[in-house]
Structure 1
């Protein structure tokens, strides 16, 4: 019996400069099973749709399906729900949610699908590796941030997360909130979240001001979930560094620590708003 295809959903708003590399990294995967990839372009004013459509013959050559949906309205939540609606018509395969600026390592898809092959609800992700940034501030921030326990041992869901069919039953439509990845992750306990030890490349915000705005938006997203879905906080986990561990990390990388701490302070003392903040 042919397994249900893995469903990859990629929301994309003006991602013409990134979507080809993202899709190319999918084509390089060593997974051999059926895959349906849906790019949901939303409110694009660039050539995201045309660039994605140009990749369709390469997907067909692999025996995989590539759908490109062109929605006139912007908004990631709407794009996610549209992609989910199409995926719901394609069986019970695993569902992978992928940002358009992510590049997956060659064996990550196979590892995620294998991890999700269980009737029990499960959530899975890869090992986040921050892409090289032209900004020295962003490089220093990323160098320190990646050493924190949550990044070293946890499944962050930033830019990429996946669930099996039973896991997808944990929620209905994506709600209209800031942090869709945190919302989904907290629908699963630590024991239900699986880290596949294969990397994926994730771009960090560029420069101090953008880092502060993006970090503030992330904090707002967590606060919003705490207010609307307080029961989910039980699944937050316990990966905050202890004071001795934080001291050791700071001594090993004082520049990275100072940048990280300065961003954190600026987030707390600056204007708290819910405006969209993009890292590039």
Structure 2
């Protein structure tokens, strides 16, 4: 059985679609084939919009499936605190942590539950796809980014990741960090990280400036986690492509490489500085 924890900050217009995709999910199956319930916890943190109300409007549909659902409202906007609040209310051992703008495919949650049904510590994630890429530049960037070796063949956990009980025992509360997905991934070696062939969809930034700010935030989050867990970087393996891999990508798609490189260069300039701690950049 599995608990899905969804922190949601100002997600009106997004959380409903996220939850409808969860509702359309196949149920996890016990080893004897019996369908198992899914607990869903939405933690609306620091919301001044209708995030909680939008989530609550779907509570009846979850009840019809026999899937327990809870909406928790926190006054302060903090994703780590929202994750901790969700963990405190989770009733099942396998935990899925999901961003509130993710659309899961019907088989993803059941696939995560299946691969994590083991006694040893384990981490799992699905295959990422991108939606809402508007215009030639963003579409080219998204296509190239998904071809990076770690995205194409690793278990990055961007937007959705899951752990079993033994894996969750490797850390206590989520600390106040920007990149919770990297924080969790750094607790697992590659052989403990399990890809699930089912996919999920998440949105890309809406324009070049937002993309650069989002990418800078990712880089800052990675640097923060490396300072916090220096041993984790060595344990989890490299995420950046090697020189040989970059050359192969360049030769196979020089235009995409140029688009990707232009964003990486812009990240290192002060022109597109982030405003505040949180910038989703949709």
TM range (shorter): over 0.9
Aligned mates of 2:162, 2:45 — CA distance in 1: 21
Task: State which of 11, 14, 39 in structure 1 corresponds to 2:10.
Answer: 14
Q: Counterpart of 1:258 in 2: which secondary structure? A: helix
When the two chains are superposed, the root-mean-square deviation of aligned CA atoms in Å is 1.6
Q: Counterpart of 2:52 in 1: which secondary structure? A: helix
1:269 aligned to 2:272?
Answer: no
> Which residue matches 2:30?
none
Aligned mates of 1:105, 1:50 — CA distance in 2: 24
Most deviating of 265-274 and 195-204: 265-274
> Do 2:186 and 2:229's aligned partners in 1 also have CA atoms closer than 8 Å?
no
Cα deviation for residue 140 of structure 1 reads 1.3
Task: State which of 59, 63, 71 in structure 1 corresponds to 2:62.
Answer: 59
1:217 aligned to 2:217?
Answer: yes
Give CA-to-partner distance per residue, 1:6-27, whole Å, 9 cap, x none: 1100000111111111111111
Aligned mates of 1:223, 1:240 — CA distance in 2: 13
Q: Counterpart of 1:146 in 2: which secondary structure? A: helix
Q: Counterpart of 2:113 in 1: which secondary structure? A: helix
> Do 1:135 and 1:206's aligned partners in 2 also have CA atoms closer than 8 Å?
no
Most deviating of 124-133 and 234-243: 234-243
Task: State which of 35, 42, 45 in structure 1 corresponds to 2:45.
Answer: 42
Aligned mates of 1:125, 1:69 — CA distance in 2: 25
User: Which ranges of structure 1 fall in alignment gaps of 5 or more residues?
Assistant: none
Aligned mates of 2:151, 2:111 — CA distance in 1: 19
Cα deviation for residue 242 of structure 1 reads 3.6
User: Which ranges of structure 2 fall in alignment gaps of 5 or more residues?
Assistant: 28-34
Q: How many pairs does the alignment contain?
A: 273
Aligned mates of 1:239, 1:174 — CA distance in 2: 22
Cα deviation for residue 40 of structure 1 reads 0.3
Cα deviation for residue 238 of structure 1 reads 3.6
Cα deviation for residue 161 of structure 1 reads 0.4
Cα deviation for residue 239 of structure 1 reads 5.0
> Do 1:8 and 1:38's aligned partners in 2 also have CA atoms closer than 8 Å?
yes
> Do 2:11 and 2:51's aligned partners in 1 also have CA atoms closer than 8 Å?
yes
Please list, as runs of the form range in 1=range in 2, the aligned pairs for 1:123-272 lying within 5 A after superposition. Answer: 123-270=123-270
Cα deviation for residue 235 of structure 1 reads 2.2
> Do 2:187 and 2:236's aligned partners in 1 also have CA atoms closer than 8 Å?
no
> Which residue matches 2:86?
83
> Which residue matches 2:24?
28
> Which segments of structure 1 move beyond 6 Å, counting only runs of 4 or more?
271-274
